[in-house]
Amino acid sequence: MNLRVPKKKIPLLVNLVGGTKVKGCIFLSHQSPIRLGGELVIDLLNNDEPFFPIEIEDAASIQIVNKKNAVFITTAEEDTKEEEIGKKQTITVRLVDGQEVSGELIIDQPEYKSRVLDFLNNQEGQFFRLYAPPESHYINTNYVSLVIPL
């Protein structure tokens, strides 16, 4: 008997604390536990589980990543489409290690709370998403030292 649940395979690059980069794939459910439709990368990163598995690209093996040590994660944008409702704001994020990541932030909040500061202070979860076609970056707020609205 096969007990595997069908999943969608998403290629990504995980940038870890200390500069290690892990390239591979994660697996998302075709049914999200928190919304209609399939699970999104941001759902996986912001769920309550502290670890997630990644299938390593070249080794065909599984490694387990501690989300607290993932500085940022990059995926191909077309693999992770979600609705783009809200105010768009281009920002640059300077991380504690000096790296900079730029992209478009989608602020889906009431108009009176639509500043970048409001988004950062009121977001749920450890990660937020930046659109940077053809990629999306998922930034761990624990490693953000400075945000520059452009």
How far is 20 from 141, CA to CA, in rounded Å?
Answer: 18
Section 69-86 average pLDDT = 76
Per-residue pLDDT averaged across 61-87, rounded? 82
Tens of pLDDT, residues 3-58? 667 788 899 999 999 999 999 999 998 877 777 778 889 999 999 999 999 999 77
Q: Domains (ranges, CATH) in the chain? A: 7-74 (2.30.30), 87-149 (2.30.30.100)
Please enumerate, as own/partner, the contacts of 143-146 that have beta carbons within 8 Å and a separation of 24 or more.
143/17, 143/71, 143/72, 143/95, 143/96, 143/97, 144/93, 144/94, 144/95, 144/96, 144/120, 145/94, 145/95, 145/96, 146/93, 146/94
> What amino acid occupies position 75?
T
| pLDDT value for 87 | 87
The pTM (predicted TM-score) of the whole model is 0.90
Q: What does the pLDDT look like over 82-107, one tens digit per residue?
A: 556 778 999 999 999 999 999 999 99
